[in-house]
Amino acid sequence: MTETRPAWGEPLQIGSVTISGRAVFAPMAGVSDLTFRLLCKEQGAALVCMEMISAKAIVYGNRRTRELWETDPAEAPVSLQLFGHEPEVFAEACGIIEKERFDILDINMGCPVPKVTGNHEGSALMKDPALIEKIVRACVEHSSRPVTVKIRKGFDEEHLNAVECALAAQEGGASAVAVHGRTRAQMYSGQADWTCIAAVKEALRIPVIGNGDVTGAESALRMMEETGCDAVMAARAARGNPWIFREIDAALKGKPVPERPVRKEVIRMLLRHADMLCRQKGETIGMRQMRGHAASYLSGFPGAARVRGKINRVNTLEDLEQLMSKEYPYA
């Protein structure tokens, strides 16, 4: 499939939305909040996705839910992701958020968490392709944005129906489908199977985004070559590493891949991320939420486990700055 290489550096059309590249930041609960999306966008993510939001919570007017869809013009285009299982609830939620500022509406059909699948939501929807089509159609009919869907290889090894589910989404009017090459039963373990991504791409006439084990430029190139997908989606590998998008973007555009950041650059980004979180959410909440991000940034640093323990006891941005200066004075 190397003949498609020249197109990798060109913009990608998803319905009425044009994204400038082929590197996509996945929606991840507790990770892809506004501050981190902005950093990933700055580093080269062509499309960034919000944390998943309950369609039912939107309909019920949950205040916490409203905070999740806050956006910034600098991150556009941005995708808002809904989860649920009732077409009529999706339709009502679409009407409520119609006036909000986002560019693409995504439907989560890949989340493997038991409390989600136990309610016939997330990847549990893959058990019912007919329902997938109904949900997508309800969203398409009640939203002015392109509708996309994120699925998995299947629910388990006995139900590997990614192609069937993707076709159902396309029939319902979806403008693109993202495919994670693991089953729900695998969660995030084992190796992602990219052959299912290739099969979905072969079957669909709309763009397909590949997801699973994209850890940098090399794996992104390999996924594009092996599957023929239209874009690649980075998820866990982006935690504490927004630079992954500048690497992927450069590689897909045929440019030299930038070097991985030195420790000084990582510490600078960690502190900048913390400052942005505190400005957005207040220091108390911002510092608490930063703890998980900080642990990811420090992966591979000397004494990282010990320092992470200290970070969990830090409550102010100033204290975090002093801790980093003390622990990594030459970074």
Structure tokens at 189: 């373990």
Residue keyed to tokens 């649920």: 84
Phi-psi region of 136 (alpha: psi -120 to 50; beta: other; left: phi over 0): alpha
Could you give the C-alpha distances from 28 to 92, 148, 199, 221, 268, in angstroms and in order? 24, 16, 25, 23, 23
Report which secondary-structure segment, H or E, holds 19. strand 17-19
Going by their DSSP bridges, the two strands 23-25 and 231-234 should be labelled as parallel
Compute the distance between CA of residue 203 and CA of residue 257 in angstroms, rounded to an integer. 32
> Which are the catalytic amino acids?
111
Q: What is the chain's length? A: 331
Structure tokens that stand for 60 in this block: 């019920």
